[in-house]
A and B are shown apart, each in its own frame.
Chain A
């Protein structure tokens, strides 16, 4: 730790400035007593402090300094006025900032919707409504009583076609509170309720039907309708038993049951049968969806029958009948005087009771029909037929090159016989002299190979394709014992002229000879000797007396080497280039394949041309030199034209910059001189 003596400057200053702690002060004073050097320093420091206080006090900012600063600040930064200031002030608050940001976002979103053409408000409303419906559907326990309430409410307004008596049974007056509504609708699942007193049974079934159908349709006039939903489906499945098991599973998942199922074995050992399933109408669609997974759906039908009218008719008749029964019983009790009357009444009573029973039965039946949808499923195991036979269909395509198309065409046509039928024959000739022919033949299977071979021999084969197809008859799959038969062979032949054929090999060479014309004649002779055909030939002579003869030949490959050899006799063979197009895999008759040779016979021409000699050379040299000079002058002009605007622009900028700096310097000098003067 440094001692006080070492840090005396620091301590002295701090002491004078009153920044020493008590302990430090004590230590300093103790040291000052001991050390004369430091004491001297202390004395000087005190003087220095005093001096500084005096001189600096003069220099410090005058009392009006702050006022001046504020005034000048106001001057230099003008205050915003009016609305802008208000907005600026407002924007200072965090809440306002957040609100503004949110509003901006919203506006952007709304603009986006407007641009994309979406209408905001209505969709939102629809969503809300559908949400409500959804939630009601999803809460069956709670939804049921609610459904009844709603039903009651709607019933109050509409139900003109239902008889009033039923309305009163089904719809308790609206002011009835929830608890009473609950007592009206007893637990649903108990079928036993039907055995209770009739009145209650009717109520129960009515409410039950209403509640079971109401969530499915929109709550409204549809709610109290009696709808019988039925569906039929026909499926092809791999295994009947498995399918039935799965259907049973689906049925229980969808709160239904398998009513009946039957099956029979067919001749081919496959099962076919029918399953009748009852499911809750609500779950019908889902059930049908599931059915699709079982196998291939052949057909499916969904029917809905409205039995509302019949139901309520029967119901009102039942009511009447019951009243009648009551009346008759009363008659029996009170006015039992005449035996014959009594008998009559008893008889009538019996008839009425029978009616009641019948009608109750009908109602019950309808209720059960409505309560459950019937799905009739026909199942058939997939048929795996074994084919009886196979038919081998062959289709051959042959493309030929012939020297004389027409001749070959006629030769092929001559092949026709009862076993070789020509179905189509056609020869095309266009005005450039190109000839092509098409033939379609139908050949008996035993003859086909021989005929095709014969046709192939008539001309050069470009392409031969055979397509074989095995067609099974009477079923699909693999029959082990089925026999295979060959069908008639279809042969399509295309004949085109040899010239159109691509050469297998292309050769080009030059022969230097002195007498071009004669050598060309020799060449033509040689060519015909080697069975080559001349395709084109030309002759030309240029100003220097050089002669050129171009000859192009086509020769069969077997004669190619001999021809090339013989060319050596004509002159010096130069620049030989050979190109060969190998077509791997093609069945080409190479000996007969064409090879193209193009030959240029040329002479060297006059050794000395007119354009030689000193004068000609001089003239040429001067002419070329002048041309080069002109050309370079033109290039310089172009370069100048390119550069000139840039040079001008740069010069302009430089000039402005110099002006500015000069002006600034002058201003500064003035300012300095003023400062100096002051």
Chain B
């Protein structure tokens, strides 16, 4: 974290609204990625981000160390998203994706979106979040680790496993692309 970022976080903790709005600019996309990773619903994710920001502003004084501010924000977002996911009734998958994949693979090779969605939904939460952060915002590994509060090097394993699992799930569909 460089000096100006640190100062911004510090000011926000001390109640500077402008600084906090700058933080909204800089990190709401990441938060959205996280929330989406968990919820896989854009509208819900957006609400989560909104709630997260309000809650963070109200309890900003709880953060002692400005270094930890982004990680703290993402923790709030993850908790809220998880709460929401738990509360909403278990959503049935759009359709039985295995058969759909096979069926669609032959007829409509272009629309793989739902398959990707379904495969994503089966991944562990952290893996999903890491993937969305990477593919939504193209963040480098260090930033993602910082945002999620992961220790050094853990992300590489997570992303590797996530991609590997996806690959195996979508093997039939993938074959259609090339």
Contacts and interface: CB of A to CB of B under 8 A. Distances in A.
Interface of A: 7, 9-14, 16-17, 19, 41, 44-45, 47-53, 55-61, 65-66, 68-70, 72-73, 76-77, 79, 88, 92, 672
Contacts of A66: 24-25, 28-29
Nearest to A19: B141
B28 A44 contact: no
B73 interface: no
A19 B134 CA distance: 12
B163 A19 contact: no
B83 to A, nearest CB: 15
B113 A58 contact: yes
Contact of A49 (B21, B42, B163): B163
B171 to A, nearest CB: 7
A51 B175 CA distance: 11
Given A59-B36, A61-B32, A44 B24 contact: no
A52 B162 CA distance: 12
Nearest to B44: A675
Contacts of A7: 160
A10 B178 CA distance: 23
For the residues of B in contact with A, the DSSP-based class is helix
Contacts of A19: 140-141, 156
Given A69-B28, A69-B50, A73-B24, A47 B174 contact: yes
Interface of B: 11, 14-17, 21, 24-25, 28-29, 32-33, 36, 42, 46, 49-50, 53-54, 57-58, 89, 112-113, 116-117, 131-132, 134-137, 140-141, 156-157, 159-164, 166-167, 170-171, 174, 177-178
A77 B54 contact: yes
B112 A47 contact: no
A51 B112 contact: yes
The residue in A10, A41, A73 that gathers the most chain B C-beta atoms within 10 A of its C-beta is A73
Nearest to A44: B167
Nearest to B50: A72
A92 B15 contact: yes
A14 B174 contact: no
The residue in B11, B141, B163, B164 that gathers the most chain A C-beta atoms within 10 A of its C-beta is B163
A58 B114 CA distance: 12
A50 B50 CA distance: 31
B161 A9 contact: yes
Contact of B136 (A16, A51, A60, A73): A60
B47 to A, nearest CB: 10
Given A9-B164, A52-B135, A73 B159 contact: no
B49 A69 contact: yes
28 contacts: A7-B160, A9-B160, A12-B160, A13-B159, A44-B167, A44-B174, A47-B174, A49-B163, A51-B112, A51-B116, A51-B177, A52-B135, A52-B166, A55-B112, A58-B113, A60-B136, A61-B32, A65-B28, A65-B29, A65-B32, A68-B46, A69-B28, A69-B50, A72-B50, A73-B54, A73-B57, A76-B54, A92-B16
Given A48-B163, A56-B135, 9 more contacts: A9-B164, A10-B160, A13-B162, A13-B164, A14-B141, A14-B159, A17-B159, A56-B116, A61-B29
A492 B37 CA distance: 111
Contact of B42 (A12, A16, A59): A59
Nearest to A14: B156
Contact of B171 (A44, A57, A68): A44
A60 B58 CA distance: 27
B100 to A, nearest CB: 15
A60 B137 contact: yes
Contacts of A68: 46
Contacts of A79: 17
